[in-house]
Amino acid sequence: MMILTFVFVIFLFHSSQAHIEISDDYAIVHTYPGTYGGSASKKNCTSDNAIIEKLLNGTGYSKFKIPSDSGTDVSVEFWMEAVNNIDEISNDFEMDMYINEMWLDPALNFEHLSPCKENLSLSYQVLDRLWTPNSNFVNSKVAMILESPFPNVFLMLYPNGTVWVNYVRMRWNPDAKEAASVSKQILLPDFNLIGIKYFVKVMPYPAGMWDELHLELQFERRTVWYFMQAYLPTYFTICVSWVSFALGPRAIPARTMLLVNTLLAIIFQFGNIMRLDSCTQTYVV
């Protein structure tokens, strides 16, 4: 039984010069303040628009400046919605997915501004004004972001400067039970998704050391489907051809008609087998 393994690679720039271990000061903070006071603090709180205006225009913030000179730790989560059109000959397949990115940007800390909300849910236009990781799909041929009716981007900013982005531009999330998971059951006509593996590699590039997030999807071919579609009809056609031996020597028209129909059925079934590509096997490395 053949198992196809597709490798899905994402790389993240970890440091401008070399791979450096990240200190705890810039780690992702996973515990956030629950409230910001009672009714007294609500009267003098700062609105969302005023906070964004203050952070992006009043502090000299630049989207081209890395949050930390020693490197920025980016936590990544991956959710698969659907897998379609697997082609084991060209090693192509289509996937619908959500990708979460989270990192700490000290320049966006707004705890001192007395915000009205625990965190800010912002539109995708604000994302264009923030620093984002230089992440992409290494081995993708085409990548598109859902834009119906507008770009499907989720952006949340926490008071301590943690930025959470749900976006298809790309460290596996250490707090997630499964950093790569399937949001719903994936059903394919001729393959079963039997395993998901994810790991991290540090690879040298001309610009420095980069973190690569590898995701392997293991598919198992459904042999029963091919047996019912290709092999079983062929067996029945061959068995029908044997009926001509049971006919008498005088039943020449019947034997001729039976053999001609059997020959046409075999030719048709051969074309169907070639269309199914049931004999092709490739392994993606």
Give yes or no for residue 224 having a pLDDT over 60.
Answer: yes
pTM as predicted:
0.50
Give yes or no for residue 29 having a pLDDT over 50.
Answer: no
Report which residue type is found at 259.
Answer: L
Query: What is the domain partition of the chain in residue ranges?
Result: 3-221, 224-276
Q: List the single range of 56-60, 105-109, 118-122, 134-138 with lowest mean pLDDT.
A: 134-138
pLDDT for 2 equals 41
More confident residue, 210 or 195: 195
The average pLDDT across 262-266 equals 80
Q: List the single range of 3-7, 127-131, 143-147, 231-235 with lowest mean pLDDT.
A: 3-7
Give yes or no for residue 75 having a pLDDT over 80.
Answer: yes
* CATH architecture classification, 3-221: Distorted Sandwich (2.70)
Q: How confident is the model at residue 57 (pLDDT cuts 50, 70, 90)?
A: confident
Q: Which of 77, 87, 76 is nearest to 6 (CA)?
A: 87
> What DSSP string describes the chain?
--EEEEEEEEEEE--SSS--PPPGGGSPP--------SHHHHHTPBPHHHHHHHHHHSS---TTS-S-TT----EEEEEEEEEEEEETTTTEEEEEEEEEEEEE-GGG--GGG-BSSSSEEE-HHHHTTS-----EETT-S-----BSSSB--EEEE-TTSEEEEE-S---B-TTSS-SEEESS----SSEEEEEEEEEEEEEEETTEEEEEEEEEEEEEE-HHHHIIIIIHHHHHHHHHHTHHHHS-TT-HHHHHHHHHHHHHHHHHHHHHHHHHTTT------
- Percent of the chain at pLDDT exceeding 70: 66
pLDDT digits (tens, 9 = 90+) for 118-174: 888 888 788 888 888 877 777 777 777 766 666 767 788 888 878 876 543 335 566
